[in-house]
Amino acid sequence: MKKNIFFYIALLMLCCMTSCVNKSTDQEPTIGDFSKADFTPSGQMDGYDYVDLGLSVKWATCNLGAKSKERLGDYYAWQETTPVNSLTYVNYQLAFNPCNPETNILSSKFDAARMNMSKNWRMPTYDEQEELCKNCFWEWTDDFQGTGTAGCIIMSKTTNKAIFLPVTGYMNAGKNLDEEDRAHYWSSWAGVGDYWKQQLTAMTLAFHKGMNYKYGGTFGTARRYDGLQIRAVVGQAEEYYPETPAALDDTETKAQGVSVNGKVDGYTYVDLGLPSRTLWATYNVGGSKPKDYGKYYAWGETTPKDYYWDTTYKFFDGTYEGWYRYNKYTWFVAHHETVDGKFILDPEDDAATQNMSARWCMPTKKQCEELCRYVKWTLVGTSYLEGKSVNNGYTIRFPLAGWEYSTEPNTHMHARYWSSELMEANFDGTDYRAYMMWSNNADAMEVVASMRIQGAPVRAVVKD
């Protein structure tokens, strides 16, 4: 009796195993009948045709910027909303990530499909591109419908509805590379974790002639400053930035020639729609309008002077073994008699706070970096940098006021503006440098570190 029981148990287990094997076999990809592919649109959204492939989102029938299925459309750098064909790392508009920090997905302000089609369209996520690969049949063609365009036909496994993705190559430095047999399409996902922050890449869907299309396309990363194609999907992009900009003060805006939203303690500011909501002064400390250079201050000093050097520096404390010593904002034990470990200016050493009001202060390094990355800069002759917010289009201006240092002449050909933050380390292991915004005759601003004893202008921000 026991033997019979064991026999039936074994038989039952064998049947279960066979069932599992058959189920697995059933899930193996099959080849679709592409003669039945139906490319007719399923409907329209805001004037643009889409195809319903039976997936979680509906896909556009054409590439962004194209008027028909076989056209390539426009090339976009990741997170830029205007087409490019000669982009390089040097002139890439946004060098850092403007994503929702919780998802690493582009917000609506940086989604090219959203900004060029309508609020009901967006770039696809990585998951949606993966769904397109796993749940559709794929087939390469060298000549799509007699147009001479190569690419992939992608057909629904359930409805035979289909889209065509043409081979696109990618654009870099004015050249279209891999144009004959490879395609690269942006997703809206920057990638996993913090890897993308250093590598300046984003996730893509790609395919090429000769690959195995049993499982659809493949995935990878591309340099954000390369120009790639975009195939949009129906759906609203993530709203990470305010859609409605703060109202302008028309009188002050007209008088200053830049955007002005209001005043704090008598000083005008602009709201550039930044993620931190930081409000920036419209002119330099010591000035009265955007074109004024204002006053020059050594880092941590609150009054201008005639000569900027170590021995005239407010915190100078003699020398030690050939090194200059300071008595505040110090961390390098080998050079200073006392170390306080302070990296952010106290209010009594903040040129903005002391010369404007307690509601104003010098910007932190993070606030400076944010301004640099969320503003499109244009150099206007040898006079100033004009910045236009990529969030709300409001403007800010920084005169090329130069700097004062030792007996060197101030040539007024650079923009240098102090932050409130000391550099934590540098190549010579000293605490002699502080962060500042800097532009060297280019259509860009960046944050660098420079000698804290030099005299440079200050552009204030509203506290909190």
Res. 299: pLDDT tops 90: yes
Of 192-196, 403-407, 453-457, the range with the highest mean pLDDT is 453-457
Better-scored residue on pLDDT, 124 or 274: 124
Of 72, 57, 107, 97, nearest to 230 (Cα)? 72
- Give residue-wise pLDDT tens across range 16-48: 332 333 333 344 445 678 888 999 999 999 999
List strand residue ranges (DSSP E) for 168-217, in order: 170-172, 175-177, 182-186, 201-208
Alpha carbon distance 242, 456 (integer Å):
33
Tell me the pLDDT band of 241, cut-offs 50, 70 and 90: low
Lowest mean pLDDT of 236-245, 283-292, 305-314, name the range. Answer: 236-245
Alpha carbon distance 305, 326 (integer Å):
18
| Residue 262, helix vs strand vs coil | strand
Q: Where are the alpha helices (DSSP H) in 27-123?
A: 112-116
Lowest mean pLDDT of 1-5, 362-366, 383-387, 443-447, name the range. Answer: 1-5
- Give residue-wise pLDDT tens across range 362-409: 999 989 988 887 788 889 988 999 999 877 889 999 999 999 998 777
Lowest mean pLDDT of 160-164, 349-353, 407-411, name the range. Answer: 407-411
- Provide the residue count of the chain: 464
Calculate the average pLDDT of the chain: 83
- List for the chain the helix, strand, coil content (%; round to 5): 20, 30, 50
Res. 427: pLDDT tops 70: no
Of 106, 391, 370, 82, nearest to 244 (Cα)? 391
Type of residue at 376: K
Q: Which residues contact 399 (CB under 8 A, 6 or more apart)?
A: 284, 290, 291, 292, 293, 383, 384, 415, 457
Instruction: Indicate the pTM of the whole model.
Output: 0.59
* Contact (CB, 8 A) for 421 and 281: no
Cα-based distances in Å from 255 to 159, 230, 263, 276: 62, 42, 14, 27
Rounded to an integer, the average pLDDT of 208-220 is 82
